[in-house]
Structure 1
Amino acid sequence: MAQDLAARVLCDNLQALTTLTAHTCHELPPDRRINRAYVHSVLKPLLPSLLLGIAAATSLADALALIARHTFRHRPGISKPRKPRSKPHKSMTQKPC
C-alpha cells in the first residue's frame, strides 16, 4: 500500500514537472493549458527508459514536443456543475439479501 502511494506521488510529480517544462520550452500562451491526462499516456511507456537513463535526452525532447501539442484553452470563471438528480437503480441498492 505504501509503495503504491509512493509510486503514485512520484508519477504525479513527474507529470507536473514535465507539464511545466513543456509549457515553458514551447512558449505556449498563458490561456493554453496542457492536458495532464495525455501527459500520463505519453510518460507511462517512457518511464522505465527515463529512470534507467537509456536514450533519455532524445526521447524526452520528443515527448515534450508531443505533450506541448495537446493543449486546451482555459477559461477562468466558467464552471458547469452537474444538475442534482436521484441515483439510478435506487431499488437495487436496498435489496434484501
Structure 2
Amino acid sequence: MRSRFVVPVVLAILLALLQFQLWTGRGSVPETSALERKLAVQKEANAKAQAANERLTSEVKDLQEGMEMVEERARQELGMVKPNEVLVQIAK
C-alpha cells in the first residue's frame, strides 16, 4: 500500500519543482516578460537613432552637393563669375 502512493507523491514533487523553476528561476515567465519590454524599448531607441542618422546623412549630402548646385544656378541665371574668370555669353 505504501509503494502505491510513492510514485504519485514523487511525481507531484517533481511537478512542483518544475512549476517553481518556471515562475521564479532563470528564464522564468516574469524575467522573460521584463526582457521583452527592455527589447521593445531598445528597438524604439534604435529606430529613433536610425532616423536621426539618416536625417544627418541627408543634410551632409545636401551640404556637399547643394553648394555646387546653387553655384551652377547662380552662374546660369545671374551671370555670377569667380575672381579672375571671364564670362562669355553666346546669344542664340
TM-score (norm 1): 0.28
User: Greater helix percent: which structure?
Assistant: 2
User: Greater strand percent: which structure?
Assistant: 1
The structure with more radius of gyration: 2
TM-score (norm 2): 0.30
Structure with greater contact order relative to length (CA < 8 Å, sep ≥ 6): 1
